Amino acid sequence: KNEVEQSPQNLTAQEGEFITINCSYSVGISALHWLQQHPGGGIVSLFMLSSGKKKHGRLIATINIQEKHSSLHITASHPRDSAVYICAYVKNNDMRFGAGTRLTVKP
Amino acid sequence: DGGITQSPKYLFRKEGQNVTLSCEQNLNHDAMYWYRQDPGQGLRLIYYSQIVNDFQKGDIAEGYSVSREKKESFPLTVTSAQKNPTAFYLCASNMDRVGNTIYFGEGSWLTVV
């Protein structure tokens, strides 16, 4: 069993829809990252969370440390948001990655 | 601009050959990492280095080797001992191992022919 579980694995949405991607993990952590991987393979870091909520443009990330759960929300989704979204947790000197959620936003 | 540069982007290797993937960063980061990504799976750690001249094995180090002679550089050699080397390889770095934003290179696609 993966130590980081993401859902859904695949998500297709219409432009303008509100998107939610979920991430659950099984251990106490120092921080959680949300990453975006583009079709060419390059990865960028979207958020790093230790608690609460962060917002950047149309992206919002929340984390509940007690429940070991984080969500990534995209408001007013756009085709350029199409990518694989990966959550990863940091614990001590280790980082573990989820398998990713492939998001496709159709115009 | 600061960042991580990986090369080559695409590489083809014959069975039995060693190949080396380059990773260079100008972010002055102490920690550097190599990950492997297979279709439908999460990133898996091959090796990491927290300081020059020191590196540690990750989860799937067998068949790989690294060096860290300079802070900026962390090359990965995929040896002939790696039985299934066809994959996407990502290099990453951050200031230290915990609690800092991590930066990724663009990745290298390795195919064994």
pLDDT in tens, chain A (107 residues): 568 999 999 999 999 999 999 999 988 887 899 999 988 788 888 999 888 999 999 999 999 988 999 999 999 999 999 999 999 987 766 678 899 999 999 99
3-state secondary structure of A79: helix
Q: Which two structure tokens, joined as six digits, stand for A35?
A: 């990453």
Q: What is the pLDDT of residue A34?
A: 95
Q: What is the pLDDT of residue A90?
A: 74
**A contacts of B37 (beta carbons < 8 Å):** 41
Q: What is the distance, to the nearest Å, from the Cα of residue A8 to the centroid of all Cα atoms in its chain? A: 11
Cβ distance of B45 and A95 shorter than 8 Å:
yes
Quick check: B64 pLDDT over 90? Answer: yes
The minimal CB distance from B42 to the residues A40, A44, A97 is found for: A97
- For B21-30, what is the mean pLDDT? 94
Q: Residues of chain A whose C-beta is under 8 A from some C-beta in B?
A: 2, 4, 30-31, 33, 35, 40-45, 48, 50, 86, 88, 90, 92-93, 95-100
Quick check: B76 pLDDT over 90? Answer: yes
Least confident residue range of A20-29, B39-48, B62-71, B76-85: B39-48
Cβ distance of B103 and A45 shorter than 8 Å:
yes
- CA separation for the pair A29, A63 (Å, rounded): 11
**B contacts of A32 (beta carbons < 8 Å):** none
C-alpha to C-alpha distances, B87 to A40, B77, B84, nearest whole angstrom: 14, 14, 8
Whole-number average pLDDT of chain B: 90
What are the phi and psi torsion angles at B15 (to 5°)?
Answer: -60, 140
Question: pLDDT > 70: what percent of chain B?
Answer: 96
Under a CB-based contact definition with an 8 Å cutoff, are residues A19 and A77 in contact? yes
Q: How confident is the model at residue B75 (pLDDT cuts 50, 70, 90)?
A: very high
Cβ distance of A30 and B104 shorter than 8 Å:
no
Question: Most A CBs within 10 Å: which of B104, B108, B110, B111, as the mutation test of the A interface?
Answer: B104
Q: Which two structure tokens, joined as six digits, stand for B61?
A: 């180090």
Cβ distance of A43 and B109 shorter than 8 Å:
no
Q: Which two structure tokens, joined as six digits, stand for B48?
A: 């990491």
Q: Residues of chain B whose C-beta is under 8 A from some C-beta in A?
A: 33, 35, 37, 40-45, 88, 90, 92, 97-107, 109
- Nearest CA to B21 out of B2, B37, B5 is that of B5
- For B61-83, what is the mean pLDDT? 95
Q: What is the pLDDT of residue B11?
A: 92
Under a CB-based contact definition with an 8 Å cutoff, are residues B111 and B12 in contact? yes
Tell me the three-class secondary structure of chain B, residue by residue: CCCEEEECCEEEECCCCCEEEEEEECCCCCEEEEEEECCCCCCEEEEEEEECCEEEECCCCCCEEECCCECCECCEEECCCCCCCCEEEEEEEECCCCCCCCEECCCEEEEEC
Contacts of A67 (CB under 8 A, 6+ apart): none
**B contacts of A93 (beta carbons < 8 Å):** 97-98
Quick check: B99 pLDDT over 80? Answer: no
Q: How confident is the model at residue B1 (pLDDT cuts 50, 70, 90)?
A: low
Q: What is the pLDDT of residue B39?
A: 80
Q: What is the pLDDT of residue A89?
A: 84
Q: What is the pLDDT of residue B98?
A: 59
B40: left (phi over 0), alpha (psi -120 to 50) or beta: left
Q: What is the pLDDT of residue A1?
A: 55
